[in-house]
Amino acid sequence: MRCRVCGGLMQRGVTDLPFKQSDRSIVVIKNLPVLLCENCTEYSVEDPVMATVEQILDAADEAAELSVVKYAA
Ligand SMILES: [Zn+2]
């Protein structure tokens, strides 16, 4: 897979990413498997990973303004 921004090679890696859960709350997911561009800061989250992210967001506490969750496949 090539980067849609610069055309560089995308490499598998893990990173920590914030996701907006609602207007008020943010969930930071740690150790998220992503494809990272080796050339710029672009990243891509694959569909199966995104599905798991949605489950994590559903399960996260909406009353908390900021939650930090470790990704577990
Ligand atoms: Zn790139």
Q: Print pLDDT tens along the chain (73 aa).
A: 899 999 999 999 999 999 999 889 999 999 999 999 999 999 999 999 999 999 999 999 889 999 999 998 6
50 Cα to the center of ligand 1, angstroms? 20
3 Cα to the center of ligand 1, angstroms? 5
**Alpha-carbon gap, residue 61 to 29, rounded angstroms:** 13
Pick the CATH number of 10-70 from 2.10.70, 3.90.1570, 2.30.30, 3.10.20: 3.10.20
pTM for this model (two decimals): 0.84
The helix or strand, by DSSP H or E, that contains position 59, with its residue range, turns out to be helix 47-59
What local confidence, expressed as pLDDT, does residue 73 receive?
66
8 Cα to the center of ligand 1, angstroms? 5
> Smallest Cα–Cα separation from 65: which of 16, 34, 28?
28
Domain boundaries of the chain, sorted by first residue: 10-70
56 Cα to the center of ligand 1, angstroms? 28
What local confidence, expressed as pLDDT, does residue 22 receive?
87
